[in-house]
Amino acid sequence: MKKKKQNIIIDCDVGVDDAIALMYALQSEDLNIQLLSTEAGNNPIESITQNTLHLTELLNKKVPVVEGVKEPIKRQPSYALNAQGKGGLGGYKYNRKKIKTSPLKESSSDAIYKVLKCNKEKTTIVAIGPMTNIAVLLKEHPDAKDYIKEIVFESGTKEKIYGKPYKSFNVGFDPEAAEIVFKSGIPLVMIPMELGHIAYLNKDDIKQFKKTNKIGKIFAKMFKKYHDYHVGHLGAAVHDACTIFYLLHPEFVKTEQAHIEIKYYKTETDDFGYVDIDFKKKANATVCIDLVIDMFKYEIFDCLKRLDK
């Protein structure tokens, strides 16, 4: 019996690890990617949308793209230009004038809501960027939560770093949006930062990308100027791809139940929001704490090789 495809909306701020996640998701025969909504985060929204359109063309996938909200709900945007590069795709550059497709003309809120309402069964949202679009969706269409199966998101950390909470990027970019999402009652699956430090590509893996095919060479270029401050000289963490691995192979991911909420850390020099996690309180989320790295890498390279077929 053929496995039924999961209906998925991916909300993304396409940088290097987002690009790996999109390749993985779009190549999967088990996921029905119905919409890509873009988020300001790694770069300004216009650049992110162009990156997303370009990737769908590069991978020869016809998936609608809608441009999302330009700025966080309350804060000034602080883009990840140092980590992801000026254009958002590390060392890879392309001619934006050659992009043939265009984003949908409606708002991200309306586009997401339309997809949710049209599906007979509940839809999973994969959030691999800040959560501004989802927060706005819940404000403008309060009943949207009734149509969402779960939100699988990448951000947060299980541990304190240097004795204080850690400002992980996706939540830190717009913590007020994440707070709205966390309080919505929608089932949550958290891919914490540490999982990406297990699921990283080492230097030999990156060399293998270059040897595999044309698309692999492009990804290898991306990695050249992708500044991963945690894995560093060992290679490149691909945090966002862990969300797709969880959806496709939960049997290879170790999870625990926990209570998560957004808290704020304010001092004379700091003012940011972060994910507070407590494994002892009544759970409202599934937290992924480990995965089978060999299987993860096999999946990534299998997807890459199948691009030639």
Q: pLDDT tens track of the chain, all 309 residues? A: 567 889 999 999 998 889 999 999 999 999 999 999 999 998 999 999 999 999 999 999 999 999 999 999 999 999 988 777 777 888 889 999 999 999 999 999 999 999 999 999 999 999 999 999 999 999 999 999 999 999 999 999 877 655 678 888 999 999 999 999 999 999 999 999 889 888 888 889 989 988 999 999 999 898 887 766 566 667 788 899 999 999 999 999 999 999 999 999 999 988 999 999 999 999 999 999 999 999 999 999 999 998 876
- Check residue 163 and give its pLDDT: 64
Q: How far apart are the first and last CA of the chain?
A: 24
Non-local CB neighbours of 210 within 8 Å, separated by 6+ positions? 216, 217, 220
The three-class DSSP label of residue 99 is coil
CA distance 143 to 191: 26
CA distance 165 to 275: 8
Please report, as a single letter, which amino acid is at residue 69.
V
For tokens 């170790």, name the residue.
254
- Check residue 228 and give its pLDDT: 66
Q: Which residues pair with 161 in a beta bridge?
A: 164
- Check residue 201 and give its pLDDT: 87
Q: Could you report the per-residue pLDDT of 36-67, keeping only the tens digit for each?
A: 999 999 899 999 999 999 999 999 999 999 99
Q: Which residues pair with 154 in a beta bridge?
A: 191
Q: Contact 130/170 with Cβ under 8 angstroms?
A: yes
Q: Contact 126/31 with Cβ under 8 angstroms?
A: no
- Check residue 160 and give its pLDDT: 63
For residue 115, give both structure tokens.
């997809």
- Check residue 293 and give its pLDDT: 95
Mean pLDDT (the chain, rounded): 92
Number of residues that this document lists for the chain: 309
Matching CATH number, 6-306, of 3.40.190.10, 3.30.870.10, 3.90.245.10, 3.40.50.300:
3.90.245.10
For tokens 């999973």, name the residue.
124
Active-site hit among 141, 239, 249, 259? 239
CA distance 19 to 29: 18
CA distance 197 to 237: 6
For residue 57, give both structure tokens.
């063309």
For residue 137, give both structure tokens.
């969706």
- In the chain, domain spans: 6-306
141 included as an active-site residue: no
Taking Cα atoms as reference points, which of 72, 146, 67 lies closest to residue 109?
67
pTM: 0.95
